[in-house]
Chain A
Amino acid sequence: MTQAPIEARLFGGGAPATGEDARLTLASGYLEVQSAGGRQRVPLTQVRIREVVSAHRGIEFSWDSRHGQCAVQVFDPPELRRVRTHPQLAELPQMSRLRASQRRGRIAWTLGWSLLATIVLLPLLLLLLLIWQADRIAGAIAERIPVAREQQLGRHVFAGMRSKLALKESGEDLQLVRELGARLSRGSRFQYEFHVAANPAINAFALPGGIIVVHTGLIDATRRPEELAGVLAHEIQHVEQRHSVEALLRQLGLRGIWAVASGDPGGTLAGNAALELMSRRFSREAETEADARGFDLLVREGIDPHGMVDFFGTLAAASGPAMPAWMSTHPASEARKAALQAKLGSLAQRQFAPLAPSIGIEVSAGSSPAR
C-alpha cells in the first residue's frame, strides 16, 4: 500500500540553514526524502526519532549522512497525525520510545499545571472555607467570651435603648412574663431580666447576656399562657446559644475577610448587600435553632408546646404575605410552624397540665389579637 508523501522540512546535509521543503515517504524499511536538493534513502533502523517542542509540537527524524547530521521535521498538524498513525512507523522501537516519553511528558505537564493552579487558587479556597465555616468559627470564639462580659455588653446596649422603650414598671403582664421567664430560665449561667414594653407591635427580643423584652402587643395576641411561654422559651434560647455574640463576631469576621479579599475596607454597596444577605441566612438558622431548643425547653419544664406552635399560626395571620425566605431575617412563620409540628408528632400524645400562673387571671382570654 503506497501512501501520499508527508510534507516536512529538511535540514542539514546540503540543505540551507533555514531548511527547505521536503516530502517524506516510507517504503520497505526505508525513509525516502525528496527535496529541491535531491533524493535520499535512509534505512529506518538508522533513523532517530524525537519530539521537538517550541510553540508547537513536532516530530523530527534524524540520521547521520556523509555530509553530517541531517534532520526532517514535521509540524503541520494533519501531517503529524499521519506520521503518528503510519502503520510502518508504528512498529518501530524508536516510535514506541517516543510515545512513552510523550506520555510521561503529558503527565508531568498536567501535574505541573494542576500544582500551579492549586497554589494560585489556595488563598481563594481558604477564604471560601472561612466564609463557609464562619458559623462554626464564630461559635467557637463566642464560647471563649466570658458570660460576665456578654452581660456587660447587653446592659450597655439596654441602657442606650431604655428611654425609647416605654417599659412598664408594674402590671399583671409584667408579673406573668417574669414568672414564666423565671421558671424557664431556672439554673442558667445567665442572669435574666424580663421587661414588658408598651408597644402594639407583635414582637419580643433578647439582648446579649439575658435581657428579654416583650411588647404588650405580643402579650395581647397570645390566647393562652402556653403561647407566651413558647415565645419566652424561644428568646431564652437565643441568649443561651449566645446568638447575638456569634452574629457580632461573624459580622466582624466577614467584614474583615471582605476587606482583605476586595482591598476595600470601606465596603462597597455590593459588598455590604452581600454581607447583609449572608448575615440574614445565619439569622434564619439561629431562629430555627432557637425554635427547636425552645420547644425542648418547654417539654422539659412540662409546659404544653402546642401553645408555641399555635402562636406561629397567629403570627402568620398577623404578618401577611412573607418576604422571600432568602431575603428575610426570620424563616416564614408557616415554615416554622410546620417544623415544630413535626416535633409535636414525636411527643406521642404526652399529656401536659395546663399552665396556671399564680396571678389568678386568664391572660387576654377572649381578647382579639392586635391588628
Chain B
Amino acid sequence: MPMDVVDYEIFGDDMQYVEIELDPGEAAIGEAGAMMMMQDGIAMDTVFGDGSAQQGGVFGKLLGAGKRLVTGESLFTTVFHNEANTRRRVAFAAPYPGKILPVHLRDVGGTLICQKDSFLCAARGVSLGIAFQRRLGVGLFGGEGFIMQRLDGDGLVFVHAGGTLMARDLAPGERLRVDTGCIVALQQNVDYDIQYVGKLKSALFSGEGLFFATLTGPGRVWLQSLPFSRMANRIIASAPAAGGRSRGEGSLLGGLGGLLDGDNA
C-alpha cells in the first residue's frame, strides 16, 4: 500500500492544531471529532474501521472496528480526500492543552505504540491497531498502559500529548522509570515493564502510586508532562458544581469573602 506523502504545519504553542496540505487525490484519516476546518474541494467520507486498505472483506472491517472500540475510540474513522485539482488544506485540532507530535513511521521502524486516544490524524494508508502489553504486571497494574494503540505503515502520523512533550532516546540497556500515565508513545523496541515502588512508606504517602513503568532501551520514547486525566482530576476536585471544594485565593472571611468577590455563579 503506497502511503500518501503529506506536508504539514503545526500552529499554536500550548493549544495546537495541525494543518495538513493534500495534493490532488491524496487523503488523510482523522480521529472522529478532531477536524477543525477544511478547504473547499476536500470531501469527507466516514468509513467503518480505520480506512486502511489491508482490511479485506466484511469480517476484516468488523475486526478493525472492534479493535477501535476496545481502545475507547469511535467505530468510525473519517477520511478527508482532496478531490480538487489543486492543493488543499485540512486542519485537525488537539482536544486539550498540549503538544502535537509528528512522527514519520519509517523513522521508527514502521510501528509506533502510543497511548490510546492520543491519536489525532495520519496520512491515508497508516493502519490503526491495538497493542496489548504482553507482561502480566503491566496488565494488572499498568493503568492506562495496558491497552495501547499501534500505528503501522510508513507515513506520517500525528499524536497528541498533554502538557509539555519530552522525547528521549534510550541507549541500549538504559532504563527510565516513568509514571504510567505519562507515556505518550514508544518504539516497539522499548521493553515495557512495571515495577513496584519498593518502599511501603513511599507507596502510601508519596502520592506517586504503587507502581512505575520501567522503560528499557534501546529506542525512543515520548513522554507527556500532563496526562489529561491528572488535569481533569484537579479541575473536578476544585469545581464546586461537581461536588469539589472551592480552593481559590480564599480570604480570612472564608465563605463571606466569596459573597463579596463577585465570582458567584
> A residues within 8 Å of B by Cβ?
9, 11-12, 16-19, 21, 52-58, 60, 62, 68-71, 73, 75, 108-109, 112-113, 116
Contacts and interface: CB of A to CB of B under 8 A. Distances in A.
Contacts of B189: 9, 11, 19, 52, 54, 58, 73, 75
A55 B220 contact: no
Contact of B148 (A12, A55, A68): A55
Given A54-B134, A108-B136, 16 more contacts: A9-B189, A11-B218, A12-B172, A18-B220, A19-B187, A53-B134, A53-B193, A54-B188, A55-B113, A55-B148, A55-B188, A62-B172, A62-B173, A68-B171, A71-B218, A112-B136
B218 to A, nearest CB: 3
Given A18-B220, A53-B192, A55-B134, A71 B140 contact: no
A11 B190 CA distance: 11
B131 interface: yes
B135 interface: yes
A12 B188 contact: no
Nearest to B147: A55
A75 B218 CA distance: 13
Contacts of B148: 55
Given A11-B189, A18-B219, A112-B136, A54 B113 contact: yes
B108 interface: yes
Contact of A53 (B150, B171, B187, B191): B191
A70 B172 contact: yes
B55 interface: no
A54 B113 CA distance: 9
A233 to B, nearest CB: 61
Contacts, number: 86
A113 B136 contact: yes
B109 to A, nearest CB: 5
A196 B150 CA distance: 79
Nearest to A57: B134
A282 to B, nearest CB: 42
Contacts of B134: 53-57
A58 B191 CA distance: 9
A69 B220 contact: no
Interface in B149-172: 150, 169, 171-172
Contacts of A108: 136
Contacts of B216: 52
Contacts of A55: 113, 131-134, 148, 150, 188, 192
A52 B190 CA distance: 7
B219 A19 contact: yes
10 contacts: A9-B189, A12-B171, A18-B107, A19-B219, A21-B109, A54-B134, A55-B133, A55-B150, A56-B134, A69-B171
Please provide the 10 A-B residue pairs with the shortest distance between their CB atoms, ordered closest to farther: A11-B218, A55-B131, A17-B169, A71-B172, A112-B136, A69-B172, A54-B192, A12-B172, A52-B191, A18-B220
B29 to A, nearest CB: 21
Contacts of B131: 54-56
Interface string B183-220: 00011111111000000000000000000000011111
Interface string B124-140: 00000001111110001
Contact of A9 (B109, B133, B136): B109
A112 B139 CA distance: 10
Contacts of A56: 131, 134, 188
Contacts of B172: 11-12, 60, 62, 69-71
B169 A18 contact: yes
Contacts of A54: 113, 131, 133-134, 186, 188-192
Interface in B104-132: 107-109, 113, 131-132
A295 B2 CA distance: 84
Nearest to A75: B188
Nearest to B132: A55
B159 to A, nearest CB: 15
Contacts of B219: 11, 17-19
Contacts of A62: 172-173
A18 B188 contact: no
A18 B217 CA distance: 10
Nearest to A62: B172
Nearest to A71: B172
Nearest to B215: A54
Nearest to B109: A9
Contacts of A52: 189-191, 216
Contacts of A69: 171-173
Contacts of A57: 134
A21 B217 CA distance: 16
A76 to B, nearest CB: 10
A243 B95 CA distance: 65
Contacts of A75: 188-189
